[in-house]
Amino acid sequence: MSEDPSKQLENNDKEQKNERFIALARELSESQESFPFPGIDPESYANTKSSEEKTPGYATPIDALVERFENEGIKVALVGECPNNDDVLILPSGSDDIKNDSVFPRFLQINETMDERLKELILMSKGQW
């Protein structure tokens, strides 16, 4: 029995979006470009603060990260040989500590003046592209 054509189109669309997301992340990561920090989404900030209270010392506190993002700017990092969406991270420009100094692109706010590639990456991460 063959797959429903509309389901097949939906799967192809998801696969193309994922490929675009990873390609964009790879481009931004390899360039090692630094971007101005656009801010953290308030809901993501609150959720991260709550997690920190439950597991203190697990990673760099979000307030310290925000300060570093503001001072250093941000960069995109890609983890692994065959990355997926959860392997795309945002780090302070001066850090390579993926384990402790990272947030997901979906945590970032969007603004009109930001690099269009970064904006697209964030929107895709939030499932809005």
In order, the DSSP letters of 42-63 are HHHHHHHHHHHHHSTTSS--HH
Tokens of 26: 């790879």
pLDDT given at position 2: 58
Q: Which helix (H) or strand (E) is 76 found in, with range?
A: strand 74-78
pLDDT tens-digit series, residues 18-71: 889 999 999 999 999 999 999 999 999 999 999 888 887 778 899 999 999 999
pLDDT tens-digit series, residues 77-104: 998 776 666 689 999 999 999 989 999 9
3-class secondary structure, 78: strand
Tokens of 66: 């925000």
Rounded to two decimals, the pTM is: 0.85
* Residue 110 pLDDT class (50, 70, 90 cuts): very high
Q: Which residues contact 103 (CB under 8 A, 6 or more apart)?
A: 40, 44, 48, 62, 65, 89, 90
